[in-house]
């Protein structure tokens, strides 16, 4: 009996809290939450709401690195793919400056992982 009751409690818990997780945050993007919110709020990293199609380094209230502050590109599939694979090298390529630096770590996301993450970012409007 106890086990049964516990099982129901767990199912209820999953139904009440789990859906949000399975909706949006169960894919490779969940690791981003360590530093980013998927809303406007800035944490260690800038809020990612609306980041797809936004000019890099322009989320209000975030203290970007010099490299992103002066960025002249818009986040699209191509540069996000580079960024998610290796931000510290791609910042050099994107800025054309060998000394450019970013605090966003290297994630080595590629293939399906990168696709899923980018598709997810597109939904953050
Ligand atoms: C350890 C912390 C950390 C994690 C984890 C992290 N980021 Fe970041 N991210 C940052 C920081 C810090 C910046 C700002 C870098 C700068 O100013 O150079 C940033 C910047 C970005 C930007 C540029 C935003 C803009 O407004 O130009 C994007 C896009 C981004 N991150 C996506 C992601 C995604 C997607 C993930 C998950 C795969 C992720 N980040 C995981 C720390 C992190």
pLDDT per residue as tens digits for the range 4-55: 555 555 445 444 444 444 444 579 999 999 999 999 999 999 999 999 999 9
Whether the per-residue pLDDT at 82 is higher than 90: the answer is yes
Place of tokens 């966003």: 104
Give CA 104 to chain center in angstroms: 10
The pLDDT score that the predictor gives to residue 7 is 53
The pLDDT score that the predictor gives to residue 39 is 97
Q: What is the pTM of this model?
A: 0.85
Among 30, 39, 43, 45, residue to substitute to test ligand 1 (most atoms within 8 Å of Cβ): 45
CATH fold label, 5-123: Cytochrome Bc1 Complex; Chain D, domain 2 (1.10.760)
Q: Does any ligand 1 atom lie closer than 6 A to the CB of residue 103?
A: yes
Cβ atoms of 45 and 36 closer than 8 Å: yes
Tell me, in angstroms, the distance from the centre of ligand 1 to residue 111's CA.
19
Q: Does any ligand 1 atom lie closer than 6 A to the CB of residue 105?
A: yes
| Ligand 1 atom showing the smallest separation from residue 101 Cα | 18
The pLDDT score that the predictor gives to residue 50 is 98
d(CA 54, CA 76): 8
Helix, strand, coil share of the chain (percent; to 5):
55, 0, 45
The pLDDT score that the predictor gives to residue 9 is 55
pLDDT per residue as tens digits for the range 52-80: 999 999 999 999 999 999 999 999 999 99
Tell me, in angstroms, the distance from the centre of ligand 1 to residue 27's CA.
16
d(CA 110, CA 87): 12
């Amino acid at each position: 009996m106890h086990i049964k009751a516990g099982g129901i409690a767990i199912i209820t818990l999953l139904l009440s809290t789990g859906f949000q997780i399975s909706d949006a945050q169960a894919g490779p993007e969940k690791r981003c939450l360590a530093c980013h919110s998927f809303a406007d709020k800035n944490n260690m990293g800038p809020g990612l709401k609306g980041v797809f199609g936004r000019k890099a380094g322009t989320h209000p209230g975030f203290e970007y690195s010099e490299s992103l502050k002066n960025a002249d590109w818009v986040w699209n599939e191509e540069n996000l793919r580079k960024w998610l694979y290796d931000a510290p090298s791609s910042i050099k390529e994107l800025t054309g400056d060998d000394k450019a630096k970013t605090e966003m770590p290297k994630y080595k996301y590629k293939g399906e992982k990168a696709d899923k993450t980018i598709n997810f970012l597109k939904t953050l409007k």
